[in-house]
């Protein structure tokens, strides 16, 4: 049996430590190796011992959790645990594994720990169902129907009564509405981040609170009304 993953809890609220410890009791493959109440304490622990995962609060005294991450040359996996959803996109840009909003539920923590296990190579990707949904979408191009491989699509861009399908630098104009395509692709993880854009999370290269950049170097501004949907990109990576 492999050794437990070494876990460090960093939060300035003692109650938050207790809640996390309670939920972690159900996960024997994680061992809590320390409790820190500031970024300075956490950095001291990281300098002395191996840590595989930090459960990290953002609002810490003196130095925030996000600022601390920017200072670390080789940070461990990080799951942000915060009461402030607006920092999630910035956390994503720092390559955090997941983020949890307080109060943390046992179910949500379990999902985050599965992501940690996958990144650590300890959990195989889920096996496909016997009859998986087709990973293609059929759309009308001129007068013919054409199949598109969803994995190759960076985004869909609304264009009046048409939609631009972006596959890398190649664009195909199809006869459809963005709303209809959104309904067809929701189960495949596509997320609407602007009134005119549906994006493929697997094609997102970088993300901050205002913009995202796709693998084809296309930059899309996140619409104010779609900030919450954009945060889904954190869990669909």
Under 8 Å between Cβ of 165 and 200: no
Structure tokens at 87: 């920092």
What pLDDT digit, counting tens, does each position of 96-115 carry?
Answer: 988 888 889 999 999 999 99
What contacts 24+ positions apart, CB below 8 Å, involve 136-145? 137/181, 137/184, 137/185, 139/163, 139/165, 139/174, 139/175, 139/176, 139/181, 140/174, 140/175, 140/176, 141/172, 141/173, 141/174, 141/175
Under 8 Å between Cβ of 96 and 57: no
Query: Phi and psi dihedrals of 136, rounded to 5?
Result: -135, 160
What pLDDT digit, counting tens, does each position of 3-37 carry?
Answer: 899 999 999 999 999 999 999 999 999 999 999 99
How far apart (Å, rounded) are the C-alpha atoms in residues 133 and 127?
Answer: 13
Indicate the SS3 state at residue 142.
coil
pTM exceeding the 0.85 threshold for the entire prediction:
no
How far apart (Å, rounded) are the C-alpha atoms in residues 69 and 39?
Answer: 9
How far apart (Å, rounded) are the C-alpha atoms in residues 18 and 87?
Answer: 23
- Going along the chain from its start, the domains and CATH numbers come out as 5-119 (3.40.50.2300), 136-234 (2.40.50.1020)
CB proximity list for 15: less than 8 A, separation 6 or greater:
none
What pLDDT digit, counting tens, does each position of 130-183 carry?
Answer: 444 458 888 989 878 888 999 999 999 999 889 999 999 999 999 999 999 998
Q: Which pLDDT score, from 0 to 100, does residue 133 have?
A: 47
**Among 23-27, 69-73, 188-192, which is the least confidently predicted range?**
188-192
DSSP string, 167-222: ETTEEEEEES-HHHHHHHHGGGT-EEEETTEEE-GGGEEEE-SSEEEETT--EEEP
Q: What Cα–Cα distance (Å) separates residue 122 from each residue in 7, 110, 113, 237?
A: 15, 14, 11, 18
In total, the chain counts a number of residues equal to 237
Query: Phi and psi dihedrals of 38, rounded to 5?
Result: -155, 165
């Amino acid at each position: 049996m492999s050794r437990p993953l070494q876990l460090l809890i960093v939060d300035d609220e003692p109650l938050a430590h207790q809640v996390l410890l309670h939920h972690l009791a159900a996960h024997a493959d994680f061992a809590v190796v320390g409790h820190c109440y500031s970024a300075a304490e956490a950095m001291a622990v990281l300098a002395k011992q191996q840590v595989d995962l930090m459960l990290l609060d953002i609002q810490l005294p003196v130095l925030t959790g996000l600022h601390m991450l920017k200072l670390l040359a080789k940070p461990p996996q990080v799951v942000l645990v915060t009461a402030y959803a607006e920092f999630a996109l910035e956390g994503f840009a720092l390559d955090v594994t997941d983020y949890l909003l307080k109060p943390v539920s046992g179910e949500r923590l379990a999902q985050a720990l599965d992501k940690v296990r996958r990144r650590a190579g300890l959990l195989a990707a889920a096996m496909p169902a016997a009859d998986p949904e087709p990973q293609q979408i059929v759309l009308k191009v001129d007068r013919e129907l054409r199949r598109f491989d969803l994995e190759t699509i960076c985004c869909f861009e609304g264009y009046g009564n048409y939609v631009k399908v972006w596959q890398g630098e190649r664009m195909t104009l199809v006869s459809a509405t963005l709303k209809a395509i959104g309904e067809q692709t929701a189960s495949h993880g596509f997320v609407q981040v602007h009134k005119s854009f549906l994006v493929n999370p697997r094609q997102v290269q970088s993300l901050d609170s205002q913009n995202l950049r796709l693998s084809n170097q296309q930059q899309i501004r996140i619409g104010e009304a779609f900030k919450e949907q954009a945060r889904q990109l954190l869990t669909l990576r």
